[in-house]
Amino acid sequence: MRRKLLFAERMLHGNGELPFNAVIPIKIKGTFPEENLHHALRKLQEKHLLLNAAVADDEDGMPWFVVAEGESAPIPVRITERSGAGDWKKESMQEWSGVFNTRKGPLMRVVWIKGAEVSEMILVLHHCLCDGGSAMAILAELLLLIDDGTVNIGKEDPILSMHDIIPAEILKSRKKIIKAKLIGGVATFALWLVPLKKRLIERKKDYMLHWKLEKELSDRLMLRCKSEKLTVNTVLCAAVLQAFQEVRKAAFHNKISCPVDIRRFAPQIKRDNIFAFGLMFVVSADQQLDFLGNARKMQEDIDRKTAKLDAYETIMMMEASHSSLANFTDFLKYGKSSNDCMFSNLGKIDIVHQYKTFELETIFSPSVIGPLGNTTTLVTSTYRGQMDFTFVASEGFIPYEEALEIQHKLMEIINKL
């Protein structure tokens, strides 16, 4: 199997020498044999061809996912003894900087923090391989297989090209093709014109803050959002922006980027497809309004932007822009950051919690740190009725003490709703 990397996947892969890892930790109560895990991972590789892939360049220097004929290298597992409840944080931060050998593969590994009765397990995937939706699908299948190695998880029909994502009538539309090339050309020219000082901002020490809302508070927040006819995502966006504003003051940009699951707009991409492309919109606050007034106006803005999102057109435009990749990457790495953070809400995670031999106590919200500019990221998810937050950043962008203040301010805002 060979598949050329799409524009976004190339950007996330870079030259393969720098880490860009999605880290997904979970907590399990109960025990199972080590062989169950290895068997489950082999079964995952049988279903998902890309879990066997390495990245190889063709004669033109374009990278491809390549799965060799015959037996592939197994997904590696590192087992460490559990000494305390905070081990998963330390191991997660260690995994941020662990570089995958993308030229050899596979692009996934597992860390098992093994305890007598309680364990944490961390799935680590190169971000060029998959997004949050793919990662959750892999996690759900992995847990089923650990519990029962005979369960049938099917076989993925992998995405091999744009033709597997974009309907033929759109992909062949002369109007769409011209528009994509025009926008791609303009973007390439604009990036070429942008003057950049090739000096990286010193990232300094990376760190993580993690916390959960009590179930009662999670329920209260969701009910309040429903009563105000606002989505939880919008209210959280408003709360995040207010927290950044009150703490960062003059350094506040009033801008957060929000990834959107592309599967909502491109039904050809199935829930269990391994895929890394995401859509994005930017949200800002109206600082002249009170909290709920701002949230309502923000909801209108988000609804309008979401309605305009065109997954097919975006992919076609980006695929027409491969020649601008180096300039775009430089812009992200060296350009002055104008975002406060990236805010990603995975929403409710529908993964079974009770298995025959163990219980999935919690799924910690994933974390990711890459080499492309501002690392400040807030990810939230809801599992078993509790909202969970992971705040990742670097001292060079936001001092740790300010991040703590932002966390406290965010909780204060949520508690007042």
Q: How many domains does the chain have?
A: 1
Encode 81-93: b = buried (16+ Cβ within 10 Å), e = exposed: ebeeeebbbebbb
Q: How is 52-110 classified by DSSP, letter by letter?
A: G-EEEE-TTS-EEEE--SSPPPPPPEEEEE--STTHHHHHHHHHHT----TTT--SEEE
For residue 90, being part of any structural domain is answered with yes
Share of the chain above pLDDT 90, in %: 84
Tens digits of residue pLDDT in 69-121: 877 899 999 999 999 999 999 999 999 999 999 999 999 999 999 999 999 99
Tens digits of residue pLDDT in 273-317: 999 988 899 999 999 999 999 999 999 999 999 999 999 999 999
Is the model's pLDDT at 189 over the cut of 70? Answer: no
**What average pLDDT does range 211-234 have in this prediction?**
96
Count of CB atoms within 10 A of residue 310's CB?
Answer: 15
* pLDDT at residue number 202: 86
pLDDT bin (cut points 50, 70, 90) of residue 330 is: confident
Per-chain mean pLDDT for the chain: 94
Is the model's pLDDT at 197 over the cut of 70? Answer: no
For residue 376, being part of any structural domain is answered with no
For residue 30, being part of any structural domain is answered with yes
More confident residue, 197 or 218: 218
For residue 161, being part of any structural domain is answered with no
For residue 256, being part of any structural domain is answered with no
For residue 127, being part of any structural domain is answered with yes
pLDDT bin (cut points 50, 70, 90) of residue 329 is: confident
Q: Which long-range contacts (CB under 8 A, 24 or more apart) does 224-228 make?
A: 224/417, 228/292, 228/295, 228/296
**Three-state DSSP class for 339?**
coil
For residue 279, being part of any structural domain is answered with no
For residue 402, being part of any structural domain is answered with no
Identify the CATH number of the domain in which residue 113 sits: 3.30.559.10
Q: Which domain holds residue 21?
A: 2-147
**What average pLDDT does range 230-244 have in this prediction?**
98
* pLDDT at residue number 181: 87
* pLDDT at residue number 195: 64
**What average pLDDT does range 401-412 have in this prediction?**
98
